[in-house]
Structure 1
């Protein structure tokens, strides 16, 4: 057993297979998960395991460039929004609005895996788009300059920026 690593074998495998732009969807307990999805069920009691716990662990394990969620998180659930901002501060990830309908209809079927939490928090559904390490791919030794998106992510990480949902 590896200390300080994900112990759930299916979750560890799903994360190990992620490539750039693959989607991991982390959901509340009631999200309608498609029947053919790669479903990883971590919820076993109301509130356990909480979506925040899952996001905190994922934040340490994988680079993500975009976090999509319903604007109601910002507008109607300020405590969850602050927690999400805190989790993703300094990650270089952007926040993008996606309606609950879009998460269900468009994003869930496209997700590489869907992790269901035990959260009963309203709108606690987050689509995480995997990225690459913006520092490892563009080094001085390679002589290749990063595209603006990578430069922006690097700056955001170095500045420890707090992400904001703009739309």
Structure 2
């Protein structure tokens, strides 16, 4: 059995196959997922698991060099936005690097999910609680 915090075999498998600049997304319950992109559905019911629970665990097991957020999160979901920024800062400190942050319109964000290796669907039911994580290298 793995010693890490991450137990979900589908998420572990996707993370283990990521190369430099490959991306995955973590989305709220309503984020449309392209048919061409692997869906890892963790949603059980409203807000279970939450976006932040999933993001916090995945970010402990992934080298992240860049994140993409929808521009709309700043105004429509400032609480989650601030918690994301705080976690990104923590991740950067742990990785000893600066994680770049890019904001795009939500429509563009949805288009970018088609290039992701997978989208992890959470039970989150608050607006724009979505993120694309770009893989970095630890060397």
> Where does the alignment leave 5 or more consecutive residues of structure 2 unmatched?
93-97
Instruction: Quote the Cα distance in structure 2 between the aligned partners of 1:4 and 1:19.
Output: 20
| 1:52 equivalent in structure 2 | 52
Instruction: Quote the Cα distance in structure 2 between the aligned partners of 1:77 and 1:9.
Output: 30
For these two proteins, the number of residue pairs brought into alignment is: 133
| 1:126 equivalent in structure 2 | 131
| 1:116 equivalent in structure 2 | 121
Q: Please identify which structure carries the higher strand content.
A: 2
RMSD: 1.2
Instruction: Quote the Cα distance in structure 2 between the aligned partners of 1:67 and 1:14.
Output: 17
CA deviation after TM superposition for structure 1 residue 54, in Å: 1.1
| 2:8 equivalent in structure 1 | 8
| 2:78 equivalent in structure 1 | 78
Detail structure 1 runs of 4+ shifted over 2 Å in the superposition. Answer: 1-5
> Where does the alignment leave 5 or more consecutive residues of structure 1 unmatched?
138-167
Greater RCO, CA 8 A, separation 6+: 2
| 2:27 equivalent in structure 1 | 27
CA deviation after TM superposition for structure 1 residue 3, in Å: 3.4
SS in 1 for 2:19: coil
| 1:104 equivalent in structure 2 | 110
TM-score, L = length of structure 2? 0.90
**Rg bigger for which structure?**
1
